[in-house]
């Protein structure tokens, strides 16, 4: 997960600002011990009893007490550990937890610094007994003159951790980590295309509201080893913040991507304006749909290009993302949702032309376990003028009020893959394009916008010759004209587009809906779009 300064600053913005939602991690800070030097051994504290039930009890009790923020080592020293200084604090992989056995997947730790100033305690669990991993400066490279060496002795100066590929692989020290937890309650994983991109969070408190968003922290972790590569690595976590305390249990499985089974028990100290369950955060600057003239030389820049939803009633929905001029919050009511995710569907390099490989970014899909009841899938889109700011949040907001003293218990799976884990057989939306309305060779009327919505799939490919799919349209306001469908002239079977003009007055957003059918047969997923007249 060795990423450049741009990705480092994305997460730094999230951790340090309440209005930006960064997700990317710091550059990889792991390294081998220099030849001839002895690798320092990890030191551990005394053993104490531990299991997830005890952790849930701990979180409930903590929620009943006033909030105490996690310790911060000497701020005058920590603020000197900037991007460059943090990059020199590389963890010695010979000192990785389970690097020489005892668990299939080694774990290395990350140091506090200017952008990650809060300490996180680390523990290893074996046979129901937990022992703290004690911080020692010599497990980090950087030299005796590094500013971090000025920190006084303390239980922890860890800020997060990496999960590495299986130690039986002789090259595991050279391979990218496949999961990381670093900063507030952010975590992320590698998708099946070998890239990282968007992130998840333990919880989201108030994104897109009038009040500043709150970012609680994972303040302590407990690791239970994976006995073999096919078995899960278990990570238990304590979440704490001014308004909430919670217990988490992550079962991390390394598959063709990564699958996480997550159990969370949340307890509110204070009322929360908007409680976001299973939140995903990503970056969307611009795409082929709407791009300001000459804003950047690249055709598209985004980590995700749409929100996919599978409703409790079985409808498959695709909502392309926007970079709006003001914060926009869209709510999609549902009962017992089957899943949702922020996805990167456009996989063509020529559409990005960027060496950071946006075309390989993972899609992340939330699969509820059990009945989540009533609520809304909520999408928050925040204006951005650069790719360093993650400006998209998708989450589940329960219908139950998030009042002080309330508790929420839930389970879900989080799939980090190239696509949705349970794709529909319906044709999928593959493009949304806007242009001036009206007809070629005629004066273009004001207030009219032309839409071209592309769909592709087997159900369209199997239409009898001469049969055109029918577009079914709806708009929250305005009127349609010049409505028709046609096969996209690229000789790809089942590739069709719906074309229509929308006439609308004013600048308020317009909600649009479209799908294709043939008689009573639904042929495509449902395209939703929020159009901002301009």
* Joined tokens for residue 194: 């070998």
- Residue 373 dihedral angles phi and psi, to the nearest 5°: 75, -150
177 with 169: CB under 8 angstroms? no
The bridge status of strand 316-320 relative to strand 526-531 is parallel
* 188: nearest Cα among 416, 400, 389, 377: 416
Q: How far apart are the first and last CA of the chain?
A: 40
Task: Retrieve residue 28's tokens.
Answer: 């990889």
* pLDDT at residue number 33: 55
Which two structure tokens, joined as six digits, stand for 226? 């994976």
Helices (H), 64-185: 75-78, 83-88
What's the token pair of residue 175?
């391979």
Q: How many CA atoms lie within 13 A of 130 on its CB side?
A: 19
Chain centroid to CA 197: how far? 8
What tens-digit pLDDT sequence spans the chain (534 residues)? 444 444 555 555 544 433 333 333 344 445 555 544 677 899 999 999 999 999 999 999 999 999 999 999 999 999 999 999 998 999 999 999 999 989 999 999 999 999 999 999 999 999 999 999 999 999 999 888 999 999 987 778 999 999 999 999 999 999 999 999 999 999 999 999 999 999 999 999 999 888 899 999 999 999 999 999 999 999 999 999 999 999 999 999 999 999 999 999 999 999 999 999 999 999 999 999 988 888 999 999 999 999 999 999 999 999 999 999 999 999 999 999 999 999 999 999 999 999 999 999 999 999 999 999 999 999 999 999 999 999 999 999 999 999 999 999 999 999 999 999 999 999 999 999 999 998 888 888 888 999 999 999 999 999 999 999 999 999 999 999 999 999 999 999 999 999 999 999 999 999 999 999 999 999 999 999 999 998
Q: Which of 337, 369, 339, 421 is nearest to 264 (CA)?
A: 369
- For 478, other C-beta atoms within 10 Å of its C-beta total 18
Contact 421, 415 (CB under 8 A): yes
Q: What domains can be seen in the chain, in order of their start residue?
A: 5-417 (2.70.98.10), 428-531 (2.60.40.10)
Per-residue pLDDT at 11: 54
Token digits for 435? 């242009």
3-class secondary-structure state, position 483: strand
Q: What is the dihedral of CA 313, 315, 316, 319, to 10 degrees?
A: -100
Q: Which of 307, 299, 366 shows the shortest CA–CA distance to 337? A: 366
Query: Which residues, listed in sequence order, are joined to residue 474 by a DSSP beta bridge?
Result: 513
**Residue in 160, 172, 33 with CA at minimum distance from that of residue 92:** 33
Dist CA 114 CA 82 (whole Å): 5
Residue 358 tokens read as 């946006």
Beta bridge partners of 252: 233, 260
The full 3-state SS of 126-149, as one line of letters, equals ECCEEEEEECCHHHECCCCCCHHH
Backbone torsion region of residue 153, taken as left when φ is above 0, otherwise alpha when ψ lies between -120 and 50, otherwise beta? beta
- Quote the pLDDT of residue 301: 97
Q: Is there a contact between 249 and 232 (Cβ–Cβ < 8 Å)?
A: no
pLDDT of res. 143 = 86
Rg (CA), the chain: 25
Q: Is 194 exposed, middle or buried (0-12, 13-18, 19+ CB in 10 A)?
A: middle
């Amino acid at each position: 997960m060795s990423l450049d300064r741009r990705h480092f600053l994305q997460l730094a913005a999230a951790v340090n600002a309440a209005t930006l939602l960064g997700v990317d991690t710091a550059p990889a800070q792991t390294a081998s011990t220099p030849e001839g030097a002895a690798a320092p051994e990890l030191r551990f504290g005394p053993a104490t009893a531990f299991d997830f039930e005890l952790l849930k009890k701990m979180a409930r009790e903590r929620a009943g007490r006033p909030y105490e923020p996690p310790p911060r080592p000497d701020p005058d020293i920590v603020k000197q550990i900037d991007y460059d200084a943090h990059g020199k604090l590389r963890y010695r992989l010979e000192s990785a937890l389970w690097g020489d056995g005892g668990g299939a997947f080694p774990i290395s730790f990350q140091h506090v610094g200017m952008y990650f100033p809060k300490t996180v305690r680390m523990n290893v669990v074996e046979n129901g007994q937990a022992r703290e991993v004690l911080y020692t400066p010599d497990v980090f490279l950087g030299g005796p003159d590094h500013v971090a060496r000025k920190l006084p002795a303390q239980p922890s100066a860890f800020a997060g951790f990496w999960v590495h590929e299986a130690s039986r692989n002789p090259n595991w020290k050279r391979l990218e980590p496949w999961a990381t937890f670093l900063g507030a309650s952010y975590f992320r994983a590698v998708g099946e295309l070998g890239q990282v991109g968007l992130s998840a969070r333990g919880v989201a408190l108030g994104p897109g509201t009038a009040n500043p968003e709150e970012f609680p922290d994972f303040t302590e972790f407990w690791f239970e080893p994976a006995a073999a590569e096919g078995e899960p690595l278990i990570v238990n976590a304590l979440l704490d913040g001014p308004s909430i305390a919670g217990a988490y249990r992550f079962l991390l499985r390394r598959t063709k991507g990564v699958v996480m089974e997550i159990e969370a028990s949340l307890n509110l100290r204070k009322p929360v304006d908007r409680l976001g369950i299973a939140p995903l955060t990503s970056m969307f600057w611009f795409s082929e749909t709407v791009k300001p003239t000459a804003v950047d030389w690249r055709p598209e820049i985004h980590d995700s290009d749409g929100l996919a939803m599978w409703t409790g009633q079985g409808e498959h929905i695709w909502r392309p993302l926007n970079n709006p001029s003001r914060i926009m919050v869209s709510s999609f009511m549902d009962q017992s949702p089957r899943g949702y995710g922020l996805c990167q569907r456009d996989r063509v390099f020529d559409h990005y032309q960027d060496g950071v490989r946006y075309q390989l970014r993972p899609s992340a899909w939330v699969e509820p376990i059990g009945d989540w009841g009533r609520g809304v899938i909520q999408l928050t889109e925040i204006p951005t003028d650069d790719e360093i700011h993650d400006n998209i949040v998708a989450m589940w907001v329960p219908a139950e009020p998030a009042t002080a003293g309330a508790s929420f218990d839930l389970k879900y799976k989080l799939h980090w893959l190239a696509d949705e884990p349970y794709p529909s057989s319906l044709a999928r939306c593959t493009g949304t394009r806007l242009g001036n309305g009206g007809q070629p060779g005629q004066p273009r009327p004001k207030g009219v916008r032309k839409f071209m919505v592309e769909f592709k799939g087997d159900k369209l490919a199997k239409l009898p010759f001469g049969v055109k799919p029918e577009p079914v349209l709806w708009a929250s306001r305005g009127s349609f004209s010049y409505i028709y469908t046609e096969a996209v002239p690229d000789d790809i079977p089942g590739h069709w587009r719906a074309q229509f003009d929308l006439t609308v007055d004013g600048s308020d957003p317009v909600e649009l809906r479209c799908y294709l059918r043939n008689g009573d047969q639904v042929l495509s997923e449902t395209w939703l779009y929020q159009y901002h007249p301009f």
